[in-house]
Amino acid sequence: MSQPVFEKNVLSNGLRVVTADMPQAKSVACFVMLAAGSRYETKDTNGIAHFAEHMFFKGTERRPNARDIAGEIDSIGGEFNAFTGKEYTGYYVKCAAEHRDVALDVLVDMLRNSRFDPEEIEREKGVIVEEMNMYYDTPRDYLEGVYDELLYGDQPLGWDIIGTKETVRAATRETFLGYLDRWYRSSRMVAGVAGALGGDVLERVESLLGDVPDGETGSPEPASPLPNGRRVKIHHKPSDQAHIRLGVPSYPIDHPDRYALNVLATVLGGGMSSRLFSEVRERRGLAYYIYGYNQGYTDTGTLFAQGGVDIARIDEAISTVVTEFGRIAAEPVSDDELQKARNFAKGRLVLSLEDPRGTILFGLRSEVLEGKIREPDEVLAGLDAVTVEDVQRVAQELIAEDRLNLALIGPFEDESRFEPLLTGS
């Protein structure tokens, strides 16, 4: 076993600090991630996590507007951004290692001292509504929301991260402050720094974040896929191409069979030699893009295939994907196919760890979502331990015709038309 990649320290206020020293690097990536995302919202505040992400870049007391913040990062040649998921939110600055302290200072100033100016909030509402319009007009992206609503219904995992136009337009300064006061607490916050760390990094983080208050935050309501039989959901949209996502409920991220599930998803639809790509695109010419993926959450998950397909041959496309789901459960994968999928998954992990940003993001995700850091060696060993029998056992447990779900965007309206295809009939 190689040396651990990550070091974890806990400040006196409960805030965790994860570092990864990469002395070969010339840069440093500074992150703050929180166990707070769109599933921590209510129906009335849906979209506030994402909206808050926008507002953190709009100005603080020391840096009064967005230009001041961007200008300071530009002045060190850095890059900064943020992302909002359903279970976590992240903010980062990446820059040359010599400017680490500037990056940390700007990052923490944004998160702790943003003004949430009411006029700026009103202005940004228009930006987010246009972001929504772009999202709605991009079927490949919007399909995720259609599928999640199908799978999880009217609970936070079934809502769009971006929210609705109604909730965005109704947001006030008090909406933001109430959300942040509840969830942006030290016990839910993890700081991360990777790259050429330099000296006193822990002391520097403590000086900036060591007094973040903690408090009782609670947890979001447990979620699970709706008890269903076969289900189909169509979002009608005139188009020359249909986008389909077909899948089944799967496991939470910390499930004992997570590595077997990773390999299963890779065999099914990871890469250009996967079963779905080979059969749907290369052999039948039904799609330009097609892939398979497992999306895991802390208490549930889903294994799915997604593709953009010819509307005139949509029945054949759906039936082909259904067949591939059934085949991987009915027939053991070959030893060669297992090894190829294992090497693919391991290779993608290793490549993601080549730079400081990818490295610290890997460690932070597991710490934020699971409360522990999974070292890369642990994941690589887990993938190496997967057997042919493991893959088939997991496939048989997850994939059954009465568990299949189909979300579809295209010029169709009759959902009952597609239901027989999910059973191969």
* 133-142 tens-digit pLDDT: 999 999 999 9
pLDDT exceeds cutoff 70 at 1: no
Cα angle vertex 9, ends 7, 13, to 5°? 160
pLDDT exceeds cutoff 70 at 20: yes
Does 302 lie in the same domain as 258? yes
Domain boundary among 174, 209, 244: 209
Task: Kindly list the catalytic residues.
Answer: 53
Mean pLDDT calculated for residue range 23-29: 96
* 158-195 tens-digit pLDDT: 999 999 999 999 999 999 999 999 999 999 999 999 99
Mean pLDDT calculated for residue range 351-363: 97
Does 381 lie in the same domain as 240? yes
pLDDT exceeds cutoff 60 at 143: yes
Does 241 lie in the same domain as 150? no
Mean pLDDT calculated for residue range 47-72: 96
pLDDT band at 224 (very low <50, low <70, confident <90, very high): low
Does 253 lie in the same domain as 201? no
Domain that holds residue 67: 7-209
| In a domain? residue 220 | no
**Which CATH number is 52's domain given?**
3.30.830.10
Q: Model's pTM, two decimal places?
A: 0.94
| In a domain? residue 217 | no
Mean pLDDT calculated for residue range 217-237: 78
pLDDT exceeds cutoff 70 at 229: no
| In a domain? residue 313 | yes
The pLDDT value given to residue 219: 77
| In a domain? residue 417 | yes
List 16's β-bridge partners, or say none. Answer: 10, 190
* Domain count across the chain: 2
Contacts of 379 (CB under 8 A, 6+ apart): 259, 349
pLDDT exceeds cutoff 70 at 380: yes
| In a domain? residue 135 | yes
pLDDT band at 228 (very low <50, low <70, confident <90, very high): low
Does 258 lie in the same domain as 197? no
